[in-house]
Amino acid sequence: MDTQRAPQPQHPRDTPWTVRGVTAEEFPDVVGVYAEPMILSAEDELTTEREHPLAEHDRILVALDGDRMVGTTASHTLEMTLPGGPRTVAGVTGVGVWPTHRRRGILTALMTRQIADIHARGEAVAAMWASEGAIYGRYGFGLAAFELSARIRAPYAVLDSAAQGDPELTVELLPAAQARPILARLHREAATTRIGQFQRGDSWWGRILGSGAPWAAVVSGPDGPLGYALYATTNGWSEDGTDSLVTVKEVVSATPAARVALYQHLFSRDLVTRIAFSALPADDPLTLLVADRNRLVEQTSGSLRVRLVDLPRALTDRPYAAPVEVTMAVTDHYAPWNNGTWHLSADRDGATCERVPRCADLSLAVVHLGSVHLGQRSVSALVEAGLVHEHTPGAAARLDTALHVPRAAFCGQLF
């Protein structure tokens, strides 16, 4: 596969659309443009931003039709845990095109400029949540992580008898705002060990605690807090009695026993008939701890999409679970510096990734490298689907073994 001949997109300067940055004073106009296609209230978005500011105005781009804003994109500077530890990641957000200007190349102009800007900042990886997943694969964002939502009815909300609790642990129910310093510390520590999570500043916590999870169940041991569950309760009644709901937004724990204690608390609330978990890791212990797995109604959905902006740096800046030598012909229509044939040589002591003039073991698009980067998806599955082409038998399996990580990636927070 000759990736050097891959068609290149038009640079924004070669299109009818002007793409530029914005000033802080223009931010309300930016919100108005992206809120409408996202079916959001611009007024609510602005109120939230005033109360808990997150926007980095120097990371916002707009597309203009004459003098009128018709498209937006932005990014957060996130300290996100990747394979290898916390790294600076561009968290792409605020993407929208005015409804009358769809399918006219505006998004392509914005994404081409944004990817180039992220590269210029020295950020090797970008990540995003996509409201419409079919759009962003062509810009190199591969679906890299999945999350679990689950619900169970109270009669079956029972942990397996083998679940190991700790009699020294206690659970205290506190207003979430009051518990905020404890929550922030516990999450900060936990986020460094779970691929996909990012560190939250004050504004992030302000938004999270103001979005409908008023209670924090905090589990503690002799040496202090070990975990928490953020949740809300909804009162309800039917003709045969109570029909109330516990909605769990987040569960964080430092030890297995602390997590068992939190689940025991959530499953033991009086007058509750249903417990729903909004977002859990795909490998959350709940699926093993519940006494009757068939009674736990589970739904898995895609979450983080990952893009390798600087391919060789991203591939050398992560650990590998086993030695691997693989040559990959990579196509990247929107970051031409990634186009070419790359040889990855890695073991547990480090990795190199260099452009080489040789035949490839695998041919793939950069989107597929993004989708396997967090270790939750496999190259072999992409080969079986016909999306990645394997020229050397066994190359995909060897790369999968090297990319393996022991825990599922999990973000748990929209951005």
Residue 11: per-residue pLDDT: 45
Please compute the mean of the pLDDT values over residues 184-204 and round it to a whole number: 97
Q: What value does the mean pLDDT of the chain take?
A: 94
Residue 239: per-residue pLDDT: 85
Sign of the CA dihedral running 222, 225, 227, 228: positive
Please compute the mean of the pLDDT values over residues 41-56 and round it to a whole number: 96
Residue range 197-221, pLDDT digits in tens:
999 999 999 999 988 889 999 999 9
Q: Which residue has the higher pLDDT, 196 or 12?
A: 196
Residue 3 has pLDDT above 80, yes or no: no
Please compute the mean of the pLDDT values over residues 348-353 and round it to a whole number: 95
Residue range 390-401, pLDDT digits in tens:
999 999 999 999
Residue 2: per-residue pLDDT: 38
Residue range 238-248, pLDDT digits in tens:
888 889 999 99
Residue 14: per-residue pLDDT: 60
Q: Residue 17: which pLDDT band, with cuts at 50, 70 and 90?
A: very high
Q: Measuring CA to CA, which residue among 214, 235, 229 is closest to residue 266?
A: 229
Q: Measuring CA to CA, which residue among 292, 261, 317 is closest to residue 83?
A: 317
Residue 164: per-residue pLDDT: 85
